[in-house]
Amino acid sequence: MNLISIADLGREDVLRLIQSAEAFRARRGQHGQPLAGKSLAMIFEKPSTRTRISLEVAAWELGGHPLYLSAGELQLGRGETIADTARVLSRYVHAITARVYSHSTLLQLAEHAQVPVVNALSDWEHPLQILADLQTMQQSFGSLEGLDIGWIGDGNNVCNSLILASAIMGMNIAVASPPGYSPRERILEEARALGGSPRVVTEPEEAARGADVLVTDTWISMGDEAEEAERLRVFGRYQINSQLLALAGEEAIALHCLPAHRGQEITDEVMDGPRSRVFDEAENRMHTSKAVMAWLMGERQGGGDGPR
């Protein structure tokens, strides 16, 4: 099995992974090592803080050996095909994670690899981030079903995965984006096919009103730098600030996958305030990465059964 899209998981899969992540969190340093003797190839075309460190530490603490592979260190940079790279890596390692510019790279890796392939970010989705977000929401509310989510800002890869996850988990999501920056229609159609009813609006206040969770991300993702001036102009009012948070539910929390551009998509007052769960969310990247690796590289390959 691969994890290319959050929609590769069903509701029970997600709940099981969150439960496993919570067990790893509670017993850090005392849990088993289901990845003992196993190696993880980590292909990075894009730089990273949380994704790289959370994966490396998670694999090491589970007894595995993480191998960081930048694009320049692989023969991919000299013309070797993705298919050949996938076939060769499958002879050496027990799973492949890839943080890439183009989603098609992941699809080709998954097609030709003989080991699990995990999406560590593409231009289409970011399922590992969303698993951490879901764990954070469950920690705050005890349950995911019925939560009202307000996304404020760019309809990007993280937004795409959150829309799909909302459909899978029975949550309601409203996405507020400027015209021309809404989520892709194909994602909305897929979410509807999964039973969801995502709403796309243009007013941040409409998405925030009564929400349990407000979520945002940078206005300028990697690869969008050439559009910086225009994006700063267009997104100016798509900011999670104290006024917007006041429109949300009384117990509402604020999330941001980081890195944050403070004073742009989120204010210091919110990010450092009592309703922020941003740094819990960042920590949970490691715990959910453990859960995914223990499942795909441990249980599904005949190894251990996670924390015990």
pLDDT in tens, 9-21: 999 999 999 999 9
The tokens of 157 are what? 């890869």
Q: Where are the domains of the chain?
A: 6-125+285-299, 129-282
Task: Tell me the pLDDT tens digit for each residue of 240-260.
Answer: 999 999 999 999 999 999 999
* Band of residue 220 on the pLDDT scale cut at 50, 70, 90: confident
Greatest alpha-carbon pair distance for the chain in Å reads 55
Reply yes or no on whether 126 is catalytic. yes
The tokens of 118 are what? 């995990």
Which homologous superfamily does the CATH classification assign to the domain defined by 129-282?
Answer: Aspartate/ornithine carbamoyltransferase (3.40.50.1370)
Q: Which amino acid is at 293?
A: M
For residue 231, pLDDT over 70 is answered with yes
Query: Model's pTM, two decimal places?
Result: 0.94
Catalytic residue among 25, 99, 112, 256: 99
Q: Do 176 and 213 contact (CB within 8 A), yes or no?
A: no
Beta bridge partners of 201: 176
For residue 226, pLDDT over 90 is answered with no
Catalytic residue among 31, 52, 94, 126: 126
Reply yes or no on whether 99 is catalytic. yes
Catalytic residue among 25, 112, 256, 285: 285
The answer to whether domain 6-125+285-299 and domain 129-282 are alike in fold is: yes
Q: Which single residue is written with the structure tokens 């604020």? A: 254
Reply yes or no on whether 268 is catalytic. no
Reply yes or no on whether 257 is catalytic. yes
Dist. CA 192–CA 237, nearest whole Å: 28
Count of helices and strands (H, E) across the chain: 12, 9
Of all residues in the chain, the percent with pLDDT exceeding 70 is: 95
pLDDT computed for residue 20 by the predictor: 97
At the top level of CATH, which class does the domain 6-125+285-299 belong to?
A: alpha beta
